[in-house]
Every structure is written in C-alpha cells, then in structure tokens.
Structure 1
C-alpha cells in the first residue's frame, strides 16, 4: 500500500527555527511549506524548496493567516475576499520559488486557523478552492474527511487527499480535540506507533473517548512544531516499514 508521510515545514522566521527541517526532510515524502504569513520567509522558503528537490520530496503550499505572533492559530476578523487574496498570494509565492529550483507545487494544505475558518461554511470553502483551481487545476487539496473543503474541492474538480494526524487526538465525531485540552497533542512514542499501526492495518483510530472509528486517508501528517517531532516521524516511518507501506509523495499516490 502506498502511503504519504507529510509534515508542515519551513515554520521558522529569520534566525529563529521551529524544528529540524533538514533531518525531517529525510523521513517524509511531502512537505507543506509555510509561505510567510503565519511563519516562514523568503530565505526559509527558498532553502526548504531546494532541500525538498534534492531529497525527491513533493511540496505544497501551507497558507495561514497573517499572524506571526500567534503562529496562525488565532482566528481573525477578515473578509472572504481578504482570505481569497491571502491564499492566492501565498500559493503564488511558493510557486515562484519552486520554479526557480525546477520543482513544482503539487498540493495545498491549510494551516490551523485558516483551515478552521475555511471550513466554517460551504460558501467560504467553495470560494477558496476556486482560488486554488484558478492557479493550477492539477493541485491537490489536503483536508480532513467530511469537511466543507473536501466537498468544495471535489465540486470544482480538484483532487483531494484526506489526512490522518498521527500526533493529534480525535473526538468520536471525527474532529480533532482542540489544542489546550488535555490529551489533544500526543507526545508518547509508543502511543504514536500504536495509532499508526492501527491505522495502517485496520483503517481505524481510537478516539480520546475510546471509540474505534474508521479513518479514510492515505496521507499521514506529523506537525514539525510538536515537541519531539523528529522522533515522532522516525516512529511513524518505523511502523510504515514494519507494515509494508510504501512511502510515496501525495501527488504520486494514484500512479
């Protein structure tokens, strides 16, 4: 079975780094690259794209709200028109950097509050995926199963890949446990391994309430800003190898 392992990357700023992106790049198959709004800058974007090209890793835009202090995790009062412009600006910036290095942006994965706001209603979700389609109809949209973004992307003819979040707890409703609540972020490596094994072998995840719930996904996400993200990624790769999963960039999953 082909499985994509992706990570949010390039989320430093200037001299500040968030994670060991260089080491993570050797473990993953797709990188979701911050585009300068919630994190990242021109130099970090350039380095991350170049490294991904060298490692054969697929790249995608990871657009967020313009909130460096809050790391894009705080909702903002902005219009749908502003969100459309933000999205186009960030994807376009990464496309330019990628072209310089002979690489290509193949997917879009919303960051934190931008994704939450995108999924607040069907109309906004549709407006945003139309922006993506206008930039490149071959772009794949990363999303959570059953969200407005998934339905909207399919409506405009964009491919989607739904995600399994190995380091985040799920509710019985299929949503993520909000950050800040106990158990929302999973740091225990044995727990991560067990979750990945259950997902790969049975297509299930055990929710924070103890419910075994089906998960429709072929891409596993690990957040690089989670403390110990490098060790988490290594644990996931170990389980993938043990289960016979073939590491595959998201844009090649259907080849």
Structure 2
C-alpha cells in the first residue's frame, strides 16, 4: 500500500547575502516548506526568494514564526501571554502571506518555531493565541502542531484545519513531547535510526520514547531538519521509503 504523508522542512533560517545551500536542493524532496519570518532568523530577501522557488517547484508554503530572539535563534523560552502569541504569529505569518500573494501563490500553513512551538505544545492559552491568529489569516490556512499536543486541541476547539506533526530525528519523552535539545540524546544523529523512527510513525502510528516506551502517535506531516550536512541525502531516503 502506498504511504501518503506530507514532508516538511524549516527553511530560510539565515541572514545577509543569499546562499541557497540545502534549502534549494531540499525543495525537490519535500512537499511543504516552513519559511522563517525574520524574528528568530531570516529576512525579507530570503522570504521572497524561497516563496518564488517553492511556487516553481509546487511545494506548499508555510510561515515559520518564532519568538523575537535572534541571538538565541528562538530556542530560549520567554514569558509571553496568549495575546502576545496571537500578535507574534499574526504579524510574522502576515508578512510571509504578503510575499506569497505577490508571487501569485497561497499561504498553505503556519508552523511555530522553536521555543514558541514547544511552549504552546504544553500551554493551552498560548496554543489558543496561535490558533486564533491562523484562523484570522484565512479559514483555509492549516496549523502544523506537535502531534497530540495543546496546539492540536486548540485548533480543534475553534475549527482551524490542523496537521499533526512528527519528527524523524528527535527523541520523544514518555509523555509524547520532544526531548529538549539541551538534554543528551535529544537529536538522533544516525540516519538509519531516524529513518526507522519515521517509518514506524507512518506505518504503525507508534514512536518509542527515549526510555523505550511505545507511544501512539498520529502522523500527518513529518519534519526533516535541513540544517545538517546530510539533510538532502536523508530527504531522498525518506521520500523513497514513504512513497
């Protein structure tokens, strides 16, 4: 049986002079791109060029809003309110939406970045702020959120389209959250292990936690991180295995 799953990757997370690097190559092996909107990384030139490339390659375009923390790459938690989460998301996703519209495309989804994503996965109030921002962008924009988390709950509460996201190269806690990057073993470095985890989630709806516990998980979209030297080769393997 053919497996159908969205494959997404975070992109545009650099600054200054445009260097396509893995981003341009990865677009050939994924179905959705999450483009940084300038707060944790990225800039208007990268946003515009990636939007244009994604449209050329028929890849779904998503906004990747983060916390206002360039120095920490948006990975440091901040004390923010539900209204902050709403404004931060609407502001950044709205900027990318403008580039998409100017290029003749349609914004497909919003996926929060880093600490904003992880905080909202645990905090229903922050999740509601993000979900409301996505709804206010357009009734057709999809929210990508950690499978089984508060982001999924909040989206369903207000009838926002939602895809439950899983990660090939991240370890999970027994509760189904991502193991913090500050903890040893949080990232799966071995491509074969990451591939097997992705297939287990896609085929069986199961992921093993860092302590070996099997967790039921819904996998609508799979994230591949593009910021490692083997990203393109890994994307090829994932695409071949899933299809």
TM-score interval for Structure 1 and Structure 2 normalised by the shorter chain? over 0.9
More deviation in 12-21 or 112-121?
12-21
More relative contact order, 1 or 2 (CA 8 Å, 6+ apart): 1
Alpha-carbon offset, residue 212 of structure 1? 2.4
1-structure distance, mates of 2:71, 2:121: 23
2-structure distance, mates of 1:176, 1:112: 11
- 1:245 — aligned with what? none
Which structure 2 residues correspond to residues 1-255 of structure 1 after superposition, within 5 A?
Answer: 1-15=3-17, 20-241=22-243
Unaligned runs of 5+ in 2: none
2-structure distance, mates of 1:46, 1:161: 25
Aligned CA distance change for structure 1 residues 118 and 196 (closer, same or farther; 3 Å): closer
Q: TM-score, normalised by structure 2?
A: 0.92
Q: Any conservation in 1 of the 2:37–2:96 contact (CA below 8 Å)?
A: yes
Q: TM-score, normalised by structure 1?
A: 0.88
The aligned length equals: 241
Aligned CA distance change for structure 1 residues 18 and 188 (closer, same or farther; 3 Å): farther
RMSD over aligned CA atoms reads 1.7
2-structure distance, mates of 1:19, 1:174: 32
* Cα displacement string for residues 44-78 of structure 1 (whole angstroms, at most 9, x for unaligned residues): 00110000000000011110011111110011234
Aligned CA distance change for structure 1 residues 155 and 80 (closer, same or farther; 3 Å): closer
Unaligned runs of 5+ in 1: 242-255
Aligned CA distance change for structure 1 residues 87 and 201 (closer, same or farther; 3 Å): closer
2-structure distance, mates of 1:154, 1:128: 12
2-structure distance, mates of 1:227, 1:174: 28
